[in-house]
Amino acid sequence: MLVAIDTATRFASLALYDGLVVRAEESWQSSDNHTVELMPSLVRMMARQHVSVQALRGVAVALGPGSFTGLRIGLAVAKGLALAQDIPLLGVPTLDVLAYIHAGQRLPICAVVRAGRGRVCAGHYVRRRGRWRQLGEPGLTTIAELAAKLEKKTLFCGEITAAERELLQSQESGLAVLASPAASLRRAGYLAELAWQRLAQGETDDPITLTPIYLHQPLT
């Protein structure tokens, strides 16, 4: 059994995955209360499925980009479980999870999460030789800037506000395609699948050295 933890933004998600079935999943909007919400939610989920901590065989965690506090909390819990139970730790970039949801379609993908002050963290993905690849590194930008630079039809998914959805839909070019709200939900079940693929390939991360993905340095 693998547990997946995503507290990269104010949206949080947990899942239990056995390699064949997502046994349980919970997602919610948090008002920066990850510290007090994460562990009780995880304990309840495992209790409902009668899964003991000793039954875990791996821990997946969303690495960012995202909020500094949220990433630190999720990674701290994931590292604690991995070290205490001596089980593999697997970090997955947050934007990869969003793009993976739409891996079945062929449009280029622009995945975004909130970065504060009207900005977003954005990652671009394209299909090449039958595989999805990220173009360059994720960056800080705005939806308006992304819309202005569109050159081909692109699927937008992730944390997009109502005003931003209206802006994208109003583009005369018609190049912006919007994923539905449900299809923009960053679910830990997808995080678990990506981590399971890494685990099956013998890949793991070092709990001591694994760090979050920040697009700019946190204030101290």
Enumerate helices (H) and strands (E) in the chain, giving the number of each. 6, 10
Q: Does 218 have pLDDT greater than 50?
A: no
Structural domains in the chain, sorted by start: 2-93+186-200 (3.30.420.40), 95-184 (3.30.420.40)
pTM of the complete model? 0.94
| Confidence category of residue 219, pLDDT binned at 50, 70, 90 | very low
With CA atoms as reference, report the closest residue to 185 among 160, 162, 158, 154.
158
For 146-160, what is each residue's pLDDT tens digit? 999 999 999 999 999
Report d(CA 112, CA 107) in Å as an integer: 16
For 179-203, what is each residue's pLDDT tens digit? 999 999 999 999 999 999 999 999 9
Q: How many CB atoms lie within 10 A of CB 218?
A: 11
Report d(CA 171, CA 88) in Å as an integer: 46
- Residue 108 preceded by cis peptide, ω within 30: no
For 43-83, what is each residue's pLDDT tens digit? 999 999 999 999 999 999 999 999 999 999 999 999 999 99
Q: Is 172 exposed, middle or buried (0-12, 13-18, 19+ CB in 10 A)?
A: exposed
Locate 150 and state its tokens. 């569109």
